[in-house]
Structure 1
């Protein structure tokens, strides 16, 4: 392949030859971070604001909110209840262990013995497993209504 000759325009470069301060005036004027507006991101709200907004948008101001309607519900699995039975922490009444819980019972694990569990809620699988083991799943709101009658 034959290359054609090209004409190059000579670029003019300004070389800082033989100077100590390179166009900065006295050497003392270029000392320290004061010359650059502070160290690091100092002065981000004064100078370089567009840079700050572009690269660190959440650096200033308040963002998001906390919902006042959020409810946190305690949960427990059937396997945890089974462990409590094994360790002897639950009382046995009329051939069934009794367990009261302020929260929701989930169906993780299995029950080997009948348990009467009173809780605010049950998952479908937990209810099925409790009844399968010969126990009872009583929602605490319903239990309160029975007591009032």
Structure 2
């Protein structure tokens, strides 16, 4: 049976600030992110299986990415918890805002590394994460490929 790649796109709005950055992105701001998730596998060949012919049901992929990424990051503000932004984060949380504190500078590149870990942990064993693409603006995106990752 052939190996097939399946891609699903997701959209979410997230704010962030890059502490210590030397440009405008040091200020709190937001993006309309577009995330493309590509998985790879072999279509189910069991004709008795209701998902026969599918690598993964798009709805199942949507549940995984929705619960791990979109539902958490949509309309939240992301800060590196190891910066003075923690004070702002605490104040926003007190006022009922959704805040995510991470161990990294919340750039598109680092968010992709985080997203890849979260998604890979939820995929069935027969499905592998192939790639992620996170579009931050109309002209800027970052990409993560499993084939580029070093294994130890």
Task: Please give the TM-score of this superposition, normalised by the length of structure 1.
Answer: 0.26
Which one has more relative contact order, counting CA pairs under 8 Å at least 6 apart? 2
Q: Which has the larger radius of gyration?
A: 1
Task: Please give the TM-score of this superposition, normalised by the length of structure 2.
Answer: 0.26
